[in-house]
Structure 1
């Protein structure tokens, strides 16, 4: 379920001083405003109960996994409802576990029930800060239509021949850093893609650090196919 926002403000009641347990921070009502409303990062709030037992431990492990994987991009905090009656009332928490995502000081998503690490990532990823040069497939399609970019397929020649984005140039990922002149000769700003986006994400970050302005497609060729956009073969 998606929850509506509410105004900021301090909370009274009991406090649990922030206690760092690996990548997961436990907070109380008095910490909520500073840790959540004033956070410069998106915040995933995990409401739980001290009486959750083994089921709670399993959920703890899933949340901890997300906190570790997205450290530096997402703040993850845990609130025990026994220590936060005012929050429970104001946020209308009716069951635990309960997850809420705050961004810019307001609620942007909320889901009840035990969630896996994969489900939690799906929940928070739309609200994470994007790397410089990151483009969604729909954005690439529009920019390509306007002739503003040149798409570069960084997969091997065999994969490129089987299927690729129309008009793409094939420069294998392991060769690009020794063939930068070819990127500069393209008609538009280079936008790289690989199969799933992970390799070109790392490569584009490295190239940008070196002064070469490139973009990349989030999710790679798989994201392009998932949108139903046309492909070329041969």
Structure 2
């Protein structure tokens, strides 16, 4: 009986070790971002290409004013996510193309969804400034 118990313990330990090392050896696949049918999700590269193509695009930084002042993408307008509300009219046309970003991507996704719910049909989220490999400014 003791040998049977020892054999079961060795098998369980071996299976756990295999699973652990298999999980560690799997390449880190990018985690897909949650997408919504309400707004488009872009990469930083796609957003940069759109901004380079069309200077009428509204670049919306939805971080706090303090975060914005520490550094932002040139041409961005600061409008904190918590200030985006259906109760407050925004100075943008409903058909304007709006590219939204924040620090890491959470607030920009929320803001893009709020904008879409408010009728802004061309709102797109491109995540966070931490993933922006291009120029930033403090001006």
Does TM-score exceed 0.5, indicating one fold?
yes
- Which residue matches 1:192? 100
1:151 aligns to 2:63 (yes or no): no
Cα deviation for residue 157 of structure 1 reads 1.1
- Which residue matches 2:17? 55
Structure 1: gaps (5+ residues): 1-49, 60-96, 98-112
Return structure 1 stretches of 4+ with deviation > 3 angstroms: 128-132
Contact 2:43 2:126 in 1 (8 A): yes
TM-score, L = length of structure 1:
0.45
Higher helix share: 2
- Which residue matches 2:29? 123
1:141 aligns to 2:43 (yes or no): no
Aligned residues: 124
Cα RMSD (Å) of the superposition?
3.1
Higher strand share: 1
Q: For 1:201 and 1:180, locate their aligned partners in 2 and report how far apart those are by CA, in whole Å.
A: 20
What is the correspondence of 1:82-231 to structure 2 with a 5 Å cutoff? 113-115=22-24, 122-125=28-31, 130-131=35-36, 132-147=39-54, 149-177=57-85, 178-184=87-93, 188-213=96-121, 214-218=123-127, 220-224=128-132, 227=133, 229-231=134-136
Contact 2:94 2:120 in 1 (8 A): no
Cα deviation for residue 201 of structure 1 reads 0.9
